[in-house]
A and B are shown apart, each in its own frame.
Chain A
Amino acid sequence: QKEVEQNSGPLSVPEGAIASLNCTYSDRGSQSFFWYRQYSGKSPELIMSIYSNGDKEDGRFTAQLNKASQYVSLLIRDSQPSDSATYLCAVNKEGGGADGLTFGKGTHLIIQP
């Protein structure tokens, strides 16, 4: 069983719409959750972190965490063509970043102008 699962896509969303990216994880002991954006040929860039159940908003981005369902999501409002990238979900088993992150394979998002 894979530890962090994401739909690989591609997920195609019209410009200006809301993009919804989903991630499930298998380890109930997971404490920290992160979303990274990765453009082709570049390294991952941290865009959101979330540690407790509920929603966390930062600009056009909202991360949602449901530990009971082992589910974390990322919403991107008012999608722009520059949001086209691969979005990686990452999970840390222990609080405080003591472990390496476990990543999903990523979802390829395409924003259509």
Chain B
Amino acid sequence: KNEVEQSPQNLTAQEGEFITINCSYSVGISALHWLQQHPGGGIVSLFMLSSGKKKHGRLIATINIQEKHSSLHITASHPRDSAVYICAALYNQGGKLIFGQGTELSVKP
């Protein structure tokens, strides 16, 4: 069982829709990263958070430490948001990032 689980694995939305991608992890972590991977393979770091909420443009990331859960929200989605979104947890033990399997998002015009 993967220590970091994402849902859904695939998501298709219409332009303008509000999107939520979920990430859950199994034990204590120091930080959680959200990453975006475009079809060509390049990965861009979106957020790193250890508590609360962060916002950048139309992207919002939240984390609930007690529930071991994080969400990535996209408001007013656009076709250019189509990508794979990956969460990665920095576990207290070992200091290594463990990646989820990714959520493939497709936003249709």
- Answer yes or no: do A and B interact: no
Spell out B's residues near A (CB within 8 Å): none
